[in-house]
């Protein structure tokens, strides 16, 4: 191709330009969106320093140090120490590790489960669809927080706490994604290329995975960012209430639970302010990324 | 329409039945029973405990226990709280008014705030004030309610001293007086704002975008061409069209208030159903726990039903069948 155009340079000025793919357009649009890009960089930065926590700080996160209780920020303890004498900065890093891990794992499970159920229901339709959707309605009609708290109280202590939490949250929150994926698949499967795929004998699994899912992927990605933000909120809210990540593991929500004591809330700002601000900025930046992606995938938006 | 609503309400019955089975199973799966929480085994004869367990039917087969529980439940007998030693219905009816007040105030504050902010932003989009409101909205959508609560207490209760940080009423108030209600409103305001934060942000956003969209439509151009004043166009013609879709959010609000109340009431130590629920989990007060879970599930069902029906009312193009 290139050789040909080189030869033809004297005849035609430029070779026919290949129009960019949907993904290339989206990437270009996203990279132009400064707010979303800054948010993404911030999020990656938080994730990296959180996951490298053991290399960045040397302080012990779990050891209770009665001699250094509730110290104000100083050169030794950048953000002071909490009521048990643990370094707040160290706990913030380790807490980020847990909060982001819980958020990501829940998002992954929710998206996988929701996409699977939504895609199967949407593609097959009929009885399969109505059965699966009744089940989805059933899950969606549970008051989410109430059941997560009850389930955590039951399972607590029997299995490793963190994975119980991730499992419980994921099992109760895939309903919304399933509904969205189903409606997208329902619209998409009416296209001729699907009929063509069926007529040449593609198996349903292949049609769903190779033909349908790539076309609804942009929706799924946008939903995944929204889910990620809400999962971090849910984890920290549950930990704050004492029904989330076990007390001995630091997480952003766990770090905040001492803010319920008036003394800490009023006079020891360094204990609760850093995790509170960090959670908010993290959620904010995830939301900005989500908005940016939504905009980037939207063919109508011109930026 | 009516037929659809009626069918949906009938459809709730099997759903409630399924949820009741789940609630019962979960309660049975929870570690220990009210005996292990309340009775000191060193002081009470173990034989007596075993006898009481038998007498109260804790050893019966599970389906039998379930039908006994659900039978009484339907008749309105929710059992006796093992913690307060009084009927569950009494425990709940004592806290219910507080949560109702919180929920109502939250919805009203949401409506008022969103109405004015949305109206202003929609009328003057892309101005400084609009961007400010937009920024606040973003914050409202992103900040988790418990963090907003913590900040609100720190700022408005401790630093500024405007609002009380806990409880639902000042001590020493006589019920029914004007001061009594004033004190209650004073206590409920901050939690209600925090509870309604998320919906305020989404209402405002919706109203703004809808007003901007409507202001480009033909009927607005016609109105302008006729010489209708700008004020009248916005306050009458556009507002009427933009405000109606908002009622579809009411159902979701109901659902959000249930989860929100658990968190908000805990932060503000506001004695309502959410706080009672967390207490009952902690103290293994199963009769209260099961009744509250059923109540919350029922309200969630109602909320979702309301949302679906209101969609049909607002937009007749959505066919309900």
Residue A224 scores a pLDDT above 60: yes
Backbone φ, ψ for residue A156 (5° rounding): -60, 135
Q: What ipTM does the predicted assembly reach? A: 0.81
Question: In chain A, what residues touch B259 (CB-CB under 8 Å)?
Answer: 143-146
Nearest CA in chain B to A151: B26
Mean pLDDT of B45-55: 70
Mean pLDDT value across chain B: 83
Which position has the token pair 């607590």? A156
Confirm or reject contact between B150 and chain A (CB < 8 A): yes
* Model pLDDT, residue B171: 73
Using DSSP, state whether B160 is helix, strand or coil.
coil
**Does the distance separating the beta carbons of B150 and A259 come in below 8 Å?**
yes
User: Which of the 8 DSSP states describes residue A196?
Assistant: H
pLDDT digits (tens, 9 = 90+) for B125-173: 888 989 999 889 888 888 888 889 888 888 888 878 888 877 777 777 7
User: Picking from A276-285, B142-151, B169-178, B180-189, which range would have the lowest pLDDT averaged per residue?
Assistant: B169-178
Tokens matching residue B293: 């879970």
- What's the CA dihedral at A263, A265, A270, A272 to 10 degrees? 130
Tokens matching residue B134: 């937009």
**Model pTM score:** 0.84
Is the separation of the CB atoms in A53 and A101 below 8 Å? no
Tokens matching residue B177: 């007086």
pLDDT digits (tens, 9 = 90+) for A11-49: 555 666 777 787 888 888 888 888 889 999 999 999 998
**Can you tell me the distance from the alpha carbon of A302 to that of B15, in angstroms, rounded to the nearest whole number?**
46
Nearest CA in chain B to A142: B297
Confirm or reject contact between A240 and chain B (CB < 8 A): yes
* Model pLDDT, residue B138: 87
Confirm or reject contact between B18 and chain A (CB < 8 A): yes
Q: How far is CA B37 from CA A247, B33, B219, in A?
A: 22, 7, 67
In what helix (H) or strand (E) does residue A48 lie, and over which residues does it extend?
A: helix A34-51
**Does the distance separating the beta carbons of A236 and B146 come in below 8 Å?**
yes
**Can you tell me the distance from the alpha carbon of A288 to that of A277, in angstroms, rounded to the nearest whole number?**
16
Alpha carbons within 13 angstroms on the beta-carbon side of residue B145 total: 29
**CA neighbor of B308 nearest in space, from B297, B299, B319:** B319
Q: Set out the domains of chain B in order of their start, with CATH numbers.
A: 2-68 (no CATH), 92-314 (1.10.3720.10)
User: Which of the 8 DSSP states describes residue B143?
Assistant: S
Backbone φ, ψ for residue A81 (5° rounding): -125, 160
**CA neighbor of B27 nearest in space, from B82, B105, B100:** B82
**Does the distance separating the beta carbons of A236 and B154 come in below 8 Å?**
no
Question: In chain B, what residues touch A236 (CB-CB under 8 Å)?
Answer: 144, 146
Confirm or reject contact between B36 and chain A (CB < 8 A): no
Alpha carbons within 13 angstroms on the beta-carbon side of residue B93 total: 7
Choose from A143, A238, A279, A287 for mutation: most chain B CBs within 10 A: A143
Confirm or reject contact between A142 and chain B (CB < 8 A): yes
Query: Minimal Cα–Cα distance from A286 to chain B, Å?
Result: 9
- Bigger pLDDT: B225 vs A243: B225
Residue A104 scores a pLDDT above 90: yes
Backbone φ, ψ for residue B306 (5° rounding): -60, -45
Residue A7 scores a pLDDT above 60: no
**Can you tell me the distance from the alpha carbon of A48 to that of A62, in angstroms, rounded to the nearest whole number?**
21
Choose from A138, A150, A242 for mutation: most chain B CBs within 10 A: A150
**Does the distance separating the beta carbons of B31 and A262 come in below 8 Å?**
no
Choose from B146, B252, B270, B298 for mutation: most chain A CBs within 10 A: B146
Q: How far is CA A249 from CA A157, B76, B190, B289, in A?
A: 14, 43, 32, 28
pLDDT band at A1 (very low <50, low <70, confident <90, very high): very low
Helices (H), ranges, chain B:
2-29, 34-38, 46-55, 62-75, 88-123, 128-142, 145-152, 178-195, 197-214, 218-226, 230-232, 239-243, 249-267, 273-283, 286-314
Choose from A141, A241, A262 for mutation: most chain B CBs within 10 A: A141
Nearest CA in chain B to A144: B259
Residue B248 scores a pLDDT above 90: no
Q: Which of residues 224-263 of B touch A (CB under 8 A)?
A: 255, 258-259, 262-263
**CA neighbor of A166 nearest in space, from A100, A252, A96:** A100
Confirm or reject contact between A130 and chain B (CB < 8 A): no
Nearest CA in chain A to B269: A260
User: Picking from A194-198, A221-225, A247-251, B254-258, which range would have the lowest pLDDT averaged per residue?
Assistant: A247-251
**Can you tell me the distance from the alpha carbon of B258 to that of A143, in angstroms, rounded to the nearest whole number?**
8
């Amino acid at each position: 191709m290139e050789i040909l155009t080189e030869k033809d340079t004297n005849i035609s000025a430029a070779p026919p330009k290949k129009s960019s793919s949907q993904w290339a357009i989206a990437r270009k649009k996203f990279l132009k969106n400064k707010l979303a890009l800054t948010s993404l960089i911030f999020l990656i930065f938080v994730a990296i320093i959180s996951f490298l926590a053991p290399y960045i700080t040397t302080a012990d996160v779990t050891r209770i140090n009665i001699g250094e209780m509730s110290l104000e920020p100083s050169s030794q303890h950048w953000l002071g120490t909490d009521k048990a004498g643990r370094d707040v900065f160290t706990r913030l890093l380790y807490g980020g590790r847990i909060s982001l891990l819980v958020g990501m794992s829940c998002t992954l499970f929710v998206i996988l489960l929701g996409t699977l159920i939504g895609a199967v229901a949407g593609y097959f339709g009929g009885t399969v669809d109505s059965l699966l959707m009744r089940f989805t309605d059933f899950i969606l009609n549970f008051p989410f927080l109430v059941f997560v708290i009850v389930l955590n109280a039951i399972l607590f202590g029997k299995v490793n706490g963190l994975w119980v939490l991730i499992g419980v949250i994921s099992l109760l929150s895939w309903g919304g994604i399933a509904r969205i994926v189903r409606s997208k698949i329902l619209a998409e499967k009416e296209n001729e290329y699907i009929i063509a795929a069926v007529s040449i004998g593609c198996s349903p699994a292949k049609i769903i995975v190779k033909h349908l899912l790539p076309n609804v992927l942009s929706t799924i990605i946008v939903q995944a960012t929204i889910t990620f933000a809400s999962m971090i909120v849910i984890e920290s809210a549950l930990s704050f209430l004492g029904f989330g990540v076990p007390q001995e593991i630091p997480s952003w929500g766990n770090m905040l639970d001492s803010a319920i004591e008036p003394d800490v809330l009023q006079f020891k700002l360094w204990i609760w302010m850093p995790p509170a601000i960090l959670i908010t900025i993290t959620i904010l930046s995830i939301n900005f990324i989500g908005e940016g992606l939504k905009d980037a995938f939207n063919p109508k938006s011109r930026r | 329409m009516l037929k659809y609503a009626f069918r949906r309400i009938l459809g709730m019955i099997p759903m409630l039945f399924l949820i009741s089975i789940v609630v019962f199973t979960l309660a049975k799966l929870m570690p220990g029973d009210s005996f292990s929480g309340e009775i000191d085994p060193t002081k009470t004869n173990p034989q007596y405990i075993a006898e009481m367990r038998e007498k109260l039917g804790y050893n019966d087969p599970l389906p039998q226990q379930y039908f006994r529980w659900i039978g009484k439940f339907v008749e309105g007998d929710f059992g006796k709280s093992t913690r307060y030693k009084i009927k569950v219905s009494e425990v709940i009816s004592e806290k219910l008014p507080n949560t109702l007040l919180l929920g109502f105030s939250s919805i009203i504050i949401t409506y008022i705030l969103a109405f004015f902010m949305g109206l202003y932003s929609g009328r003057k989009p892309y101005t400084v004030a609009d961007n400010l409101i937009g920024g606040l909205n973003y914050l409202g959508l992103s900040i988790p309610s418990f963090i907003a609560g913590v900040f609100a207490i720190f700022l408005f209760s401790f630093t500024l001293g405007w609002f009380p940080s806990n409880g639902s009423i000042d001590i020493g108030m006589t019920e029914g007086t004007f001061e009594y209600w004033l004190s209650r409103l004073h206590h409920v305001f901050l939690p209600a704002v925090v509870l309604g934060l998320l919906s305020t942000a989404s209402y405002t956003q919706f109203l703004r975008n809808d007003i901007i969209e409507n202001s480009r439509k033909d009927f607005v151009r016609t109105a302008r061409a006729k010489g209708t004043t700008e004020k009248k166009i916005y306050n009458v013609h556009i507002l009427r069209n933009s405000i109606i879709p908002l009622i579809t959010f009411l159902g979701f609000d109901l659902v959000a208030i249930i989860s929100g109340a658990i968190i908000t009431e805990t932060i503000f130590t506001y004695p309502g159903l959410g706080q009672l629920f967390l207490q009952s989990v902690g103290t293994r007060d199963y009769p209260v726990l099961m009744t509250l879970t059923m109540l919350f599930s029922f309200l969630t069902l109602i909320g979702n039903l309301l949302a679906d029906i209101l969609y049909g009312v607002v937009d007749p193009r959505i066919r309900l069948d």
